Amino acid sequence: MRLCSIASGSSGNCIYVGNDDTHLLVDTGISKKRIDEGLSEIGIKGEELDGILITHEHSDHIQGLGVFSRKYQVPIYATRGTLEGIRAYKSLGALPEGLLHEVETDMDFMLGDIEVHPFRISHDAKEPCGYRMNHGGKSVAVATDLGIYDEYTVENLKNLNAVLLEANHDIHMLEVGPYPYPLKRRVMGDKGHLSNELSGRLLCDILHDNLQYVILGHLSKENNYAELAYETVKLEVTIGDNPYKGDDIPLYVAGRDRVSDIVTV
């Protein structure tokens, strides 16, 4: 199994997950041109994709979906609420007939030889979800746009080999930053985004010896920066109630505008 961030941040998200035989995207929140360029960097063509998994209908997760799907005719998978949001998003244009497929959270399905497990997340969208993908005894997951997490979230992220996990904002930067007050409350709310601290605490709950890679993603451009997210998450692990220290974890930060290294498990 391979995991690679083509783009991850508050301005656009697109993640590749695959193996030698099956190639998937999680979200298409950047332009078709940037998706194509990112896929090219990792040796994949758009027409080779077996499916696009959409987490929710916000623009930073679907803005490239219309142009990309019309070009490559790749099947699109999302929950019923997310599909309603996609259909209502007029700037996408008409999506090709028959490409939209409804999935249910906690109901596994197969794309090629990869088992896909959608799970609920707490975010201010119609029916958002994260995705866990399993193949050959290995598991990776994409978990962003989490206002809060609970035991259900932890259960869905246990025993992973690699995870892309949200570390959206530094609480102090958000509090003193330029966002209007209602937006600050939204970001910090139960249906908003995970702070660096909460990301580290969630990581403490899912750490195990076979978690080979942790990629921090969906960083806010205005309220976070890579070094701060990295150090804060490491510190939470070090001081947390777990047998690990921050330096024990293979931790990386996904860039907004650059393709990450491919991690292979």
Q: How far apart are CA 25 and CA 14, in angstroms?
A: 7
Positive or negative, the Cα torsion across 54, 190, 4, 40?
positive
pLDDT at site 204: 97
If you compute the radius of gyration of the chain from its CA atoms, what whole number of angstroms results? Answer: 17
Listed residue (253, 252, 247, 217) closest to 235, CA to CA: 247
Residue 120 CA, chain-centre distance (Å), reads: 13
> In whole numbers, what is the pLDDT of the chain averaged over residues?
97
Domain total in the chain: 1
Percent of the chain whose pLDDT exceeds 90: 97
- State pLDDT tens for residues 104-145: 999 999 999 999 999 999 999 999 999 999 999 999 999 999
Parent domain of 158:
2-264
Q: What is the mean pLDDT of residues 244-263?
A: 94
Q: How confident is the model at residue 150 (pLDDT cuts 50, 70, 90)?
A: very high
The SS3 of residue 118 is strand
pLDDT at site 246: 93
pLDDT at site 96: 87
- State pLDDT tens for residues 76-101: 999 999 999 999 999 999 998 899 99
Q: What's the DSSP call for residue 94? A: P
Q: Residue 162 maps to which CATH number?
A: 3.60.15.10
**DSSP string computed for 139-164:** EEEEE---S---HHHHHHTTT-SEEE
Pairing of strands 2-7, 263-264: antiparallel
pTM assigned to the model: 0.97
